[in-house]
Chains A and B, each alone.
With several copies, the nearest count.
Chain A
Amino acid sequence: MTEQTYSKTELMICVAARLFEDGTTCFIGTGIPMLAAMLASKTTAPNLVPVFEFGGTGAILEELPRAVGEARTFHKGISALGICDTMETAQRGFIDYGFLGGAQIDPYGNLNSVTIGEHDHPKVRLPGSGGGNDVGSHCWQTIAIMQHDARRFVPKVDFLTTPGFLTGPGARVAAGLPPGTGPIAVVSTLALMDYHPESCRMRLKSLHPGVTVEEVVANTGFELVIPDKVGANAPPSAEELRLLRDEIDPEKLYI
């Protein structure tokens, strides 16, 4: 049996895909979350209901959407409505998961996709919240997918775009966000993280193959909670890689 080779991105997508729960509604952001959702729907979550913000719900993901409004987001879908309906569906508590990216993340899972540096005189102007803030506000559980390095995993995000736990325990509800919501995981190029149930701080959960705790710590710009037992993420299976390469991203837009 030959060892498969795979990229960090492929691994990240596979680990993320395994987090999708079958038979749930899931808000899918642009990019990597789309690949993960497709992989999940072709493997462990055949009854996943993908929701795309501009109106597509329940699409059959036969081809990779390259935009959150294109026809692939409602291909053989169960409904194609508008953005208000989708966001209001989330606001009513109907969307179980939200999969998101961002340029920065902090220990409480807050995400930044607006500016690096000061808002009014930014060093880097990023695209903006898009639906990110809405997803982080209304979906029951959110999962972030990020490259792992110390410039991205920062003690404090330059601009708090998408709410994680804000300043810590109780802060979401105090701010008026719906009870019972919040981030539950971060999938990075190095590991899978969750959050400590009491402190709400990011916690290492399991390592990608070949990655050490020290490597994760060195690439994280804040103190990560390290539990006594750290798990190990399985490498991509041959089938996962085949699906990713042949069916999901044959044009190699991401992988």
Chain B
Amino acid sequence: MQVLESGIGELIQPFDLDEFREWNRTKKTRKLVDKRMTEQEAIRQFVYDGCYIGTELYGTVRCPMSLAREVVRQGRKNLRVCGQGVLELDLWLAAGIIKKLDITYIGLEVYGTTAALRRAVESGQVETCVEWSNGSISWRMKAAAMGVPFLPTRSMLGTDMLKYSAAKVVEDPFTGTKVALLPALVLDVALIHVHRADKHGNCQIEGISGFALEMSRACKRLIISAEEIIPTEEIRKYPDRTVIPYYLVDAVVHAPYGSYPGEMAYMYGRDEPGIKEWVEMSKTAEGAKEYLDKYVYGLKNHAEYLKLIGDERLQQAVELREKRE
């Protein structure tokens, strides 16, 4: 089972299984303590310059947009980012705070490629892009979540993706099948937005789970933002709906409309004009700066942001929600 090929991409965040175990033993309490705090406190306490960070899911879908804005507001920089992202990572790129990317996809989906990514990468401001497929980056987190150093896949074989990644190709010793081995990925900080959490961090999600299960189990610090804070009795009534148990969580931030202008399944839909505003303004560096001034730097916190958006637009988003019918 020798290594047949090795990607030349940098392993931006090397993995040490025993160190991760030791972290989980000593830095994560098993006690049911109250972890509620403001977004300012959570970002101040857990996000630091140069840390390896990721967000779940996508800027327009159940994404911790309020936390992502706070990271910019507090001026964190030189971030190393695990990136499949839409609005949230685009915002970070435009703010110039990303140094290295394990990139899978950063784009505006229906609105195409992003100018902020182009500016940041083509200018060399982002120093390194290591390539992974969406499946591969998720499996890298899944490896860490399983507590193993790697997972095999047939993704990326035969392509430049393999070459510009940090994966390795081996032959399966049982069947001779060629597989790529994906190194486990543990984030320093993960940001995940959920429908409901209790004060301890027990979380419920509706709709697709994206890669929330994997990411929540593959990070050293986990900041949860939640649309709603619910009593622990409610969690205990439906233990089969807890997808992220409290012991994984370091901070719980109450963030109604936390995914806005993106959506939250069964709660509110996308605000298309809100998204288009970024799409248009981010086409130039000046426009992006103006947007950041208006929606990030010029506001104190998420509450002020919601006030700026206004009840009427939020209510419109609620009208557009997916319904159980």
Contact = CB atoms under 8 A, between A and B. Distances in A.
Is any CB of A less than 8 Å from a CB of B in the complex?
yes
Interface of A: 23-25, 30-31, 47, 49, 53-60, 66-84, 87-94, 96, 110, 114, 119, 121-134, 137-138, 140, 159-163, 166, 171-172, 174-180, 251, 253-254
A198 B321 CA distance: 50
Nearest to B161: A133
A180 B24 CA distance: 13
B109 A67 contact: yes
A47 B243 CA distance: 21
A83 B210 contact: yes
B147 A137 contact: no
Contacts of A70: 60-61, 263, 270
17 contacts: A30-B110, A47-B31, A55-B208, A69-B61, A74-B207, A79-B240, A80-B239, A81-B240, A88-B146, A92-B21, A92-B217, A127-B107, A130-B134, A134-B136, A159-B164, A176-B169, A176-B179
B315 interface: no
Contact of A69 (B25, B58, B147, B247): B58
A119 B160 CA distance: 10
Q: What 3 A-B pairs come out closest when comparing CB atoms?
A: A175-B158, A176-B178, A93-B21
B145 interface: yes
Interface string B202-238: 1000011111111001000000000000001001110
B66 interface: no
Interface of chain B, main secondary structure: mixed
B267 to A, nearest CB: 10
Contact of A133 (B86, B107, B155, B321): B155
Given A69-B58, A92-B145, A128-B104, A79 B109 contact: no
Given A70-B61, A87-B135, A163-B159, A80 B246 contact: no
Interface stretch (B41-49, B69-77, B117-125, B288-296): B117-125
Contacts of A96: 25, 30
Nearest to A48: B30
B280 interface: no
Contacts of A90: 147
Contacts of B319: none
A130 B103 CA distance: 9
Interface string B140-151: 001011111000
A72 B213 CA distance: 22
B242 A78 contact: yes
A72 B266 CA distance: 11
Nearest to A76: B236
B114 interface: yes
Contact of B158 (A119, A126, A163): A163
Given A82-B208, A88-B147, A166 B134 contact: no
Given A58-B245, A70-B270, A82 B213 contact: yes
